[in-house]
A and B are shown apart, each in its own frame.
Chain A
Amino acid sequence: MKVLVAEDDPRILEGLIEILETEGYEVVSASDGAQALTCYEAAAPDFVCLDIMMPKVNGYDVCRKIRETSPGVPIIFISAKSEEIDKVLGLELGADDFIIKPFGVKEVIARIRAVTRRCLATKQPARPPRPTFSMGHLQVSPDELRGQIEDRTVELSLRDVKILTILYDNVGKVISRDEMYAAGWGLKHIPNSRSLDQHISQLRKKVETDPKNPTLIRTVHGAGYRFER
């Protein structure tokens, strides 16, 4: 999934990009409203995160302009202006959600995941919805970015879902590290090998009963990872 982020403060922008990429999204960024519009047309993202107070064109106007051509694309406003009216206005423009600075990382992730769920639910007919599948004690709902272990619900990132999906689709087979990267990060990203391990480690903490002794995502030394029933 592709996300467009428009934010004029470079550090906040950087931080948001990191959060989104960690989540598993392909990120396109812009530092002002005009650039945002250009990028939108060029990249055709799946959803958009807009800062309101931006130079050249402000977030509201960018939203309006986007809505002219794509009334359905989800838009999240990020802003320091937390007045009620602004919230309402933002939502009246057809924004899907509102994040108020200063925000926490978890807040951002939660909102983005919510939007993603909606995206996945209303995606083009080209792409059929993917049903829940079971991996051992874990029920994975890919389109809901959730997993269920007994009575506990686990929030999953897009990447998590992609990783679990590729493992499940190739049950019993070993998925090489490259393949993992390709599935979770996309071909464009060649991050260092540590990020995969880190991510697997994080994912295990979420879904494994005993992260130190994983049953769902097993390491195959020197080869990769594998899911076995």
Chain B
Amino acid sequence: MRRGPVLALLLLIMLPLALLGGLGIRLARDEERVLELTLRHQIEGRLGDLADRISRRTASTRANLIDALLEIDHDPESMRRFVRREPRVRQVFLLDSAGTPLYPAPAAPLSVSEREFLDRAQPMWKGPVEKSSTRRALHGPPLDSGMKDPMGPQSQGSSDRAPQGQSTVGWIVWTRDSRIHILVLEALEGGGFIGAEIENMRMLADIIADLPDTATARSYSVSPYLLSLKTAATVPSDASERFALTDSTGRILYQFGTFDPREPRNPLVARSLDYPLDSWRLRYDVPDSAPGARNLNRVHLPLLLGLASVGLGLMALGGFVFREYRRDAIEAAQRVTFVNQVSHELKTPLTNIRMYTELLTERIGENLLEVDPKARHHLDVIADESQRLSRLITNVLTFSRRHRDENSHRSQSGIIDETIESTIEIFRPSMQKRGIEPRFEGTCRNPLPYDPDALSQILGNLLGNVEKYATGTREVRIRSRVVEDQVIVDVEDDGPGIALHQREAVFEPFKRLSERLEDGAAGTGIGLTIARDLARRHGGDLVMIAGDSTAHFQLTLNIATTRTEAQS
């Protein structure tokens, strides 16, 4: 089996498979991505819902507090009473339009907690509140100057960082020592502001009260939705998950769900809360999904099955083609073997015919010539024809072996001219009968390395052609000479020759220049093909030289190559 076709066949199977596989994987990945995005979308929806709940809570807290604050009297006792009764605030404050606190007043006698409040909050509202003194809004647009107004150099206290504050619709938020402080603020008619500091723990407890607990978390879960989508990649088989609320440092404030991770991890989806709690985040976590059988089953199994079936189909097809090819190849080989076999089979009887004819000729040839010349002639005919048969069989065998053993031939030292002469001798009788006289001028008398059988076969084919096709020629001229590392043998006759445009075609196998009955039914069309093959194997060539009306063939044999071959 030759490698080329096998390779081609393998490629035929592999390439489409690879292509399909690649596309399939792309598709599977895209599908996974779509599912991931859907999942993400779902989760983001949930988180958004939670964030909204929290926003509503903070908004309503503010609204309630402001309503209540606007009701109270502005004397310290009333304000204290308010603080004692209002669990959602730590402290209440009153500012004049310049931002100076009226209550708790720095100059007045204060309780410990009031004093602490002043320390905490005073530097904060100076800036943004001053600039907003002309505004009075409950739900107005954000105070433009108040955004991100750092109070760096004016900050007091022991924190490492200066409190930074933001002020929009009625909130003031700042972080200190990684704790957030939240104030509600409301402008008063007639100037000044009233506000309160939010008790964070209470606010968180209220938020927690609004969020689902483990029991109600089930209705919040994203898992059932996903499982019904038959996704594989991101939801592990036990479908546990967790929603969590974290503060600005990432510390969990509250969580619900069936998953309790012990190590820090990256959330699958996360988002910040709305202002004023935007330093807090909501996150959604799932355990790392275990890759494995489940994934395979869900997504890749159909893909693999598809690929496998296509692959099998292709392989079947390829196998079929291969088998056919192989069958053809075997048949061809068998045919060749058959031809070889037949030729070998023919050789034994042929050997005997030739040998015994010659022996007989030796024995009684002379006598027969004297006694019965005609009988002798019959004997000669037998001898000639058996030789011709030999040559034909040799040609056929040589032709059938064309594609093998391209470069090997056997050379031995011999005298070129002798080989040429003995070949000519074989043809002389039959030529002479047709009135053709072979004339040989040889200059290759020195021993040279060459393959005598090849030379003999080539020359034999040429002379045979002359016999068959060179009608009208009286002689055939053969010359041999050595030029550098080549032997050149010319065979020329005066026959009709071969047309110029058929110069190359004449060497093609099975090409007989004329099928016309009268142009000689003899010839298989392989003679010149073989002759050229043999010449080329010998490192030379056989060409037809353009001539006028003559047929002129030139054979070159490479002696240098053969010399090295003989030496090696």
Direct chain A–B contact by Cβ atoms under 8 Å: yes
Chain A residues near B (Cβ < 8 Å): 9, 11-12, 15-16, 18-19, 22, 80-85, 87-88, 91, 100-106
* Selected contact of A104 from candidates B354, B401, B405, B453, CB within 8 Å: B354
Given A101-B348, A102-B351: A88 in contact with B410 (beta carbons within 8 A)? yes
| Cβ-based interface call for B116 (8 A) | no
Residue numbers in A under 8 Å from B355 (CB-CB): 12, 15-16, 19, 102-105
Chain B residues numbered 382-408 whose CB sits less than 8 Å from any CB in chain A: 386-387, 390, 393-394, 397, 401, 405, 408
* Selected contact of A11 from candidates B344, B356, B362, B410, CB within 8 Å: B356
Chain B residues numbered 321-378 whose CB sits less than 8 Å from any CB in chain A: 344, 347-348, 350-356, 358-359, 362
A to B CB contacts below 8 Å, 9 in the list? A12-B348, A80-B351, A84-B410, A87-B410, A88-B410, A102-B347, A102-B354, A103-B355, A105-B362
Given A84-B408, A84-B409: A18 in contact with B359 (beta carbons within 8 A)? yes
With A and B bound together, what is the CA distance between A109 and B314 in angstroms? 63
Closest CB in chain B relative to A88 CB, distance in Å: 6
With A and B bound together, what is the CA distance between A11 and B359 in angstroms? 12
Residue numbers in A under 8 Å from B397 (CB-CB): 82
With A and B bound together, what is the CA distance between A80 and B352 in angstroms? 12
Residue numbers in B under 8 Å from A11 (CB-CB): 352, 356
Residue numbers in A under 8 Å from B347 (CB-CB): 80, 101-102
Closest CB in chain B relative to A197 CB, distance in Å: 12
Most chain A CB within a 10 A radius of its CB, from B344, B352, B355, B362:
B355
Closest CB in chain A relative to B398 CB, distance in Å: 9
Given A18-B359, A19-B359, A80-B344: A101 in contact with B351 (beta carbons within 8 A)? yes
In the complex, the answer to whether A81 meets B350 with C-beta atoms within 8 Å is no
With A and B bound together, what is the CA distance between A91 and B348 in angstroms? 22
Q: A82-B394, A102-B393 are in contact. List 7 more A-B contacts (CB 8 A).
A: A80-B351, A82-B453, A84-B408, A102-B350, A102-B355, A104-B358, A105-B355
With A and B bound together, what is the CA distance between A106 and B358 in angstroms? 9
Closest CB in chain B relative to A11 CB, distance in Å: 5
Residue numbers in A under 8 Å from B405 (CB-CB): 83-85
In the complex, the answer to whether A101 meets B359 with C-beta atoms within 8 Å is no
In the complex, the answer to whether A85 meets B358 with C-beta atoms within 8 Å is no
Residue numbers in A under 8 Å from B344 (CB-CB): 80-81
Residue numbers in B under 8 Å from A16 (CB-CB): 355
With A and B bound together, what is the CA distance between A104 and B350 in angstroms? 10
In the complex, the answer to whether A102 meets B390 with C-beta atoms within 8 Å is yes
Closest CB in chain B relative to A90 CB, distance in Å: 10
Residue numbers in A under 8 Å from B362 (CB-CB): 22, 105
Closest CB in chain A relative to B253 CB, distance in Å: 90
Q: Quick one: closest B residue to A22, CB to CB?
A: B362
In the complex, the answer to whether B348 meets A15 with C-beta atoms within 8 Å is no
Residue numbers in B under 8 Å from A88 (CB-CB): 408, 410
Closest CB in chain A relative to B410 CB, distance in Å: 5
With A and B bound together, what is the CA distance between A169 and B501 in angstroms? 69
Q: Quick one: closest B residue to A10, CB to CB?
A: B352
With A and B bound together, what is the CA distance between A81 and B390 in angstroms? 14
Render B28-72 as a binary contact track against A, CB cut-off 8 A, 1 for contact: 000000000000000000000000000000000000000000000
With A and B bound together, what is the CA distance between A101 and B348 in angstroms? 7
Residue numbers in A under 8 Å from B353 (CB-CB): 102
Q: Quick one: closest B residue to A19, CB to CB?
A: B359
With A and B bound together, what is the CA distance between A16 and B351 in angstroms? 11
Residue numbers in B under 8 Å from A91 (CB-CB): 410
With A and B bound together, what is the CA distance between A22 and B361 in angstroms? 14
In the complex, the answer to whether B352 meets A12 with C-beta atoms within 8 Å is yes
With A and B bound together, what is the CA distance between A87 and B412 in angstroms? 12
* Selected contact of A103 from candidates B354, B393, B409, CB within 8 Å: B354
* Selected contact of B348 from candidates A9, A22, A82, A106, CB within 8 Å: A9
Residue numbers in A under 8 Å from B409 (CB-CB): 84
Q: Quick one: closest A residue to B386, CB to CB?
A: A102
With A and B bound together, what is the CA distance between A18 and B352 in angstroms? 13
With A and B bound together, what is the CA distance between A102 and B383 in angstroms? 12
In the complex, the answer to whether A101 meets B350 with C-beta atoms within 8 Å is yes
Top 6 closest pairs, chain A to chain B, by CB: A105-B358, A102-B351, A80-B347, A15-B355, A102-B350, A101-B351
With A and B bound together, what is the CA distance between A191 and B368 in angstroms? 22
Closest CB in chain A relative to B527 CB, distance in Å: 18
With A and B bound together, what is the CA distance between A103 and B393 in angstroms? 13
With A and B bound together, what is the CA distance between A103 and B350 in angstroms? 9
* Selected contact of B359 from candidates A9, A15, A82, A100, CB within 8 Å: A15
In the complex, the answer to whether A15 meets B356 with C-beta atoms within 8 Å is yes
In the complex, the answer to whether B351 meets A103 with C-beta atoms within 8 Å is yes
Residue numbers in A under 8 Å from B356 (CB-CB): 11, 15
Closest CB in chain A relative to B407 CB, distance in Å: 10
Chain B residues numbered 443-466 whose CB sits less than 8 Å from any CB in chain A: 453
With A and B bound together, what is the CA distance between A137 and B152 in angstroms? 140
Residue numbers in B under 8 Å from A104 (CB-CB): 354-355, 358, 387
With A and B bound together, what is the CA distance between A65 and B356 in angstroms? 32
With A and B bound together, what is the CA distance between A100 and B451 in angstroms? 14
Residue numbers in B under 8 Å from A85 (CB-CB): 405, 408
Residue numbers in A under 8 Å from B393 (CB-CB): 102
* Selected contact of B352 from candidates A9, A81, A83, CB within 8 Å: A9
Q: Quick one: closest A residue to B393, CB to CB?
A: A102
With A and B bound together, what is the CA distance between A83 and B344 in angstroms? 12
With A and B bound together, what is the CA distance between A81 and B405 in angstroms? 15
Closest CB in chain A relative to B533 CB, distance in Å: 13
Closest CB in chain B relative to A66 CB, distance in Å: 22
With A and B bound together, what is the CA distance between A22 and B359 in angstroms? 10
Closest CB in chain B relative to A128 CB, distance in Å: 28
In the complex, the answer to whether B351 meets A12 with C-beta atoms within 8 Å is yes
Residue numbers in B under 8 Å from A81 (CB-CB): 344
Q: Quick one: closest B residue to A16, CB to CB?
A: B355
With A and B bound together, what is the CA distance between A9 and B397 in angstroms? 21
Closest CB in chain A relative to B383 CB, distance in Å: 9
